[in-house]
Structure 1
């Protein structure tokens, strides 16, 4: 089988990440495949730090969102041509190969770097399409990392009244110019104004205290949706404390993973992940969601210090984008 060398950001051991050479399969494309050189890939800090940097199986190449320039297409692909930019769920590698149904064309006016954020936006868009809360309702977002940041912006864009919480000042500051009801360092559970106030709470922190607090401030019969992965415990809060609030406030506490809806549109579902990706790209192209000031652009060779900085929150940006242009 013919191969060629490409570059890959790979976790090679616990807390070790390297830019290494890998082999690219040069076998002929399937009729429904496309391939091309990577322009940019986006880091999802929570997932990649917990499941990659502190992972248990090595070597491992991860990735969340990739924009690549199409160089070759299979004979059945007629709506995408050489030179087009497409969004995919690709890994941190200098070359991509994907099924046509697994990519979305990037609008012409949208930069590759901005387009990568469609992936993070789609996480909370699953909750947007499945919640019982309707526009105009008050929504609480806990945790303002990348997922929570975009949850606040998206629900506000869709005419919900959003309050947001994060103990980190720099994260709160990134939302200060938005049309939000409140931006707090912690949930003011004891204040009378927050009692049974919210029709929906979305936890993006993966922190059990935030979940307990959310269960105390939602309206009776409302939802608390968990879209931040719970990688580890942070406190000594017992399950009883959370379940007590769930029971007596009649809370619907549920998971909110983006994969709770179909990957592609089907007749029996109201939403899909790839519909969310397409909508997110359109909103970004129309400047309805701003990503300025949220990321650094980093050479893939600097992956080790980058992940260390993200782990210890030594950067004032929420995430980073790998620039693959030097590796083409």
Structure 2
């Protein structure tokens, strides 16, 4: 039996580290692991923490969606993963987790686990451009340079696109430049772009005005992908204005929700979320996607003060990561 610890949203705008017993055994196709690090999604988890779009009946609830685990036990049918291996897992912020072996993949034991865990974020936006027909011969625009947008812009640039990255926050712009992004600015007008000159615009901000500001620069029959979750109304923009511009620009508009791709590849569909994350991990290891200086490690016991700071936009780095090696128990 292990003593487990979980980060729980116990009520709206309150996060606590809760202790419980963990005495589970893996099913035949499962693994059990001890969490080394778990990354925080500033967008999705802030939405859950603040209660955007939900009711108080949603609480208490677990949170978190990307960990590096050290495997402790494996089920009888698991042959390619062994105790002592490190794996990436789509599990929550817990000291001990269980997962299907089909939903994890090996990561190098000698590679920093906090960097390996970041492979979750490029995969979020990879769904958007895997759906797009726009090729690297055209330019793209990325709006919002939080951790998802930062990884999106890097991914697109690595794949050969000319990427125009926009965010009003100067700290985010500095981070983007330090990651090697070539065209970074606080506003679209800084780039002196011609109207209708972008093939694909990807919004990672969820901001009404930001989305509307990109549309005049997308060419006719171009693509607009909405990756950032529109948790709440952020402006007085009317639906009529948005729809009018979409209509007369003949735009293809689609959701960038990552789970619109299957979790695993199939015979006739090689693209999947697991493949996106494995590919992103390889690019991070190769330093094709830069991760130095973009995250900060925290003790999970600090969750009660960390989530309010994230919601208030007070973090110095784009990404916060729980380091379970720091847990004081």
Same fold (TM over 0.5): yes
Distance 2:21 2:244 in 1: 54
Mapping for residues 195-234 of structure 1, pairs under 5 Å:
195-234=195-234
Counterpart for residue 32 of structure 2: 35
CA 196–178 in structure 1, closer or farther in 2 if over 3 Å, else same: farther
Residue pair 2:179, 2:291 contacting (<8 A) in 1 also: no
Distance 1:206 1:125 in 2: 17
Distance 1:7 1:93 in 2: 6
Uncovered stretches (5+) of structure 2, i.e. residues with no partner: none
State the Cα deviation string for residues 79-119 of structure 1 (Å, max 9, x = none): 11111000011100000111100101113442110011111
Distance 1:323 1:87 in 2: 15
State the Cα deviation string for residues 144-165 of structure 1 (Å, max 9, x = none): 1111000000000000000011
Taking structure 1 as the reference length, what is the TM-score of the superposition?
0.94
Residue pair 1:104, 1:277 contacting (<8 A) in 2 also: no
Match of 2:176, SS state, is coil
Distance 1:223 1:100 in 2: 36
Mapping for residues 140-159 of structure 1, pairs under 5 Å:
140-159=141-160
Structure 1 residue 52 displacement after superposition: 2.7
Distance 2:72 2:2 in 1: 15
Counterpart for residue 137 of structure 1: 138
How many residues get paired?
324
Counterpart for residue 248 of structure 1: 248
Counterpart for residue 71 of structure 2: 70
Taking structure 2 as the reference length, what is the TM-score of the superposition?
0.94
Counterpart for residue 286 of structure 1: 286
Uncovered stretches (5+) of structure 1, i.e. residues with no partner: none
Structure 1 residue 4 displacement after superposition: 4.2
Structure 1 residue 192 displacement after superposition: 6.5
Counterpart for residue 87 of structure 2: 86
Counterpart for residue 21 of structure 1: 19
Distance 2:91 2:39 in 1: 10
CA 249–192 in structure 1, closer or farther in 2 if over 3 Å, else same: farther
Counterpart for residue 162 of structure 1: 163
Runs of 4 or more, structure 1, over 4 Å off, are 178-181
CA 235–53 in structure 1, closer or farther in 2 if over 3 Å, else same: closer
- Quote the RMSD (CA, aligned, Å): 1.7
Counterpart for residue 42 of structure 2: 45
